[in-house]
Chains A and B, each alone.
Chain A
Amino acid sequence: MKERKIYFIQLVTLSFNWVLAVSVTWWFVHLVRVAHELNDTQTASISISIVAITIFWILSGVLTYVFFSLHKQERVQE
Chain B
Amino acid sequence: MTYRDMNDEDETLFKPIYQTGKNFYILAAIFSTVFLIGIGLYIRQLVLGLGVTGMNEPVTWAFYIVDFVFFIGISHAGTLISAILRLSKAEWRRPITRMAEVITGIVLAIGGLHPIIDLGRPDRIMHLFERGRLQSPLLWDVTSITAYFTASTIYLYLPLIPDIALLRDRGGKLENLYKILAWGYKGTPEQKHALEKAINILMVMVIPIAVSVHTIIAWIFGMTLQPGWHSTIFGPYFVVGAIYSGIAALLIVMIVFRKAYHFEDYLKEIHFQYLGTLLLIMSLLWTYFTFAEYLTAFYGHEPAEMRVFFYKFNGGYAPFFWLMVFCNFILPVVILSNRRLKKLPGILMASIAVVIGMWLERLIIIIPTLANPRLPYPTGVYIPSLTEISLFAAAVSAFVLGFMGFSKLFPLISIWEIKEGRLQSVHEVSARLREYLPGRHDEKQVEATLKAEI
Residues of A within 8 A of B (CB): 1, 6, 9-10, 13, 17, 20, 24, 27, 30-32, 34-35, 38, 40-41, 44-45, 48-49, 52, 55-56, 58-59, 62-63, 65-67, 69-71, 73-74, 76-77
List, in ascending order, chain B residues with CB within 8 A of A56's CB: 147, 150
The residues of A that contact B133 with a CB separation of less than 8 Å are 31, 34-35, 38, 40
Number of interface residues of B (CB under 8 A): 33
| A73 to B193 CA separation, bound complex (whole angstroms) | 11
Contacts of A1 in B (CB 8 A): 176, 179-180
Q: CA of A17 to CA of B202 in the docked complex: distance in angstroms? A: 15
Please give 9 more A-B residue pairs, beta carbons under 8 A apart, in addition to A52-B143, A65-B194, A71-B184: A17-B154, A32-B134, A40-B134, A52-B147, A56-B147, A59-B147, A66-B183, A70-B183, A74-B184
Contact of A77 among B151, B186, B195 (CB under 8 A): B186
Q: Nearest B residue to A48 by beta-carbon distance? A: B134
Which B residues lie within 8 Å of A63 (CB)?
154, 158, 198
Contact A70:B151 (CB < 8 A) given known A10-B183, A24-B146: no
B134 to A55, Cβ gap below 8 A?
no
With beta carbons under 8 angstroms apart, the residue of A17, A41, A55 that contacts B205 is A55
What are the residues of chain A within 8 A of B449 when measuring CB–CB? none
* B191-A73 in contact (CB<8A): yes
Are B198 and A66 interface neighbours, CB within 8 A?
Answer: yes
A73 to B133, CA, bound (A): 46
Contact among A6, A32, A48 for B180, CB-based, below 8 A: A6
CB pair B147 A55 closer than 8 Å: yes
| Interfacial chain B residues near A45, Cβ < 8 Å | 134-135
B265 cross-chain contacts in A, Cβ below 8 A? none
**Given the known A-B contacts A62-B201, A62-B202, A66-B195, are A20 and B184 also in contact in the complex, defined by CB atoms under 8 Å?**
no
Say if the beta carbon of B161 comes within 8 Å of chain A: yes
Q: Is B188 part of the contact surface with A, judged by Cβ < 8 Å?
A: yes
B185, A70: Cβ atoms closer than 8 Å: yes
Interface of A is mostly: helix
A73 pairs with B134, CB closer than 8 A: no
Contact B198 A6 (CB under 8 A): no
In the bound assembly, the distance between CA atoms of A55 and B202 in angstroms comes to: 11
- The chain A residue with its CB closest to the CB of B144 is A52
**Contact (Cβ within 8 A) B191 A10:** no
Q: Which residues of A contact B129 (CB under 8 A)?
A: 27, 30
B180 lies within 8 A of A35 (CB): no
Q: Cα distance A74–B140 when bound, in Å?
A: 41
Bound state CA distance, A77 and B143, in angstroms?
Answer: 41
Q: Which residues of A contact B150 (CB under 8 A)?
A: 17, 20, 56, 59
CB distance from B208 to the nearest CB of A (A): 10
Sample (8) of A-B pairs whose CB atoms are under 8 Å apart? A35-B133, A55-B209, A62-B202, A66-B158, A66-B194, A67-B183, A73-B184, A74-B191
Give the Cβ gap from B176 to chain A, nearest Cβ, in Å. Answer: 5
Query: Does the CB pair B161–A48 fall under 8 Å?
Result: no
Question: Are A44 and B135 in contact, CB atoms less than 8 angstroms apart?
Answer: yes
Chain A residues contacting B123 (CB-CB under 8 Å) are none
Q: Looking across the interface, which residue of chain B has its beta carbon closest to that of A63? A: B154
> Taking the complex as formed, is B190 at the interface, i.e. its CB lies under 8 A from any CB of chain A?
yes
Query: How far apart are the CA atoms of A71 and B161 in the complex, in Å?
Result: 13
Residues on the A chain within 8 Å of B158, using CB: 63, 66
A32–B143 Cα distance when bound, in Å, is: 14
Task: Give the CA-CA distance A43 to B190 in the complex, in Å.
Answer: 43
Using a CB-CB cutoff of 8 Å, which residues 143-190 of chain B contact chain A? Answer: 143, 146-147, 150-151, 154, 158, 161, 176, 179-180, 183-186, 188, 190
Closest-CB distance, A45 to chain B (whole angstroms):
4
> In this assembly, does B132 line the interface, its C-beta being within 8 Å of a C-beta of chain A?
yes
For residue B131, CB closer than 8 A to chain A, the reply is yes
A77 to B165, CA, bound (A): 15
**A50–chain B nearest beta-carbon distance, Å:** 11
Q: B161 to chain A: which residues have CB within 8 Å?
A: 66, 70
From B194, B201, B205, give the contact of A73 (CB < 8 A): B194
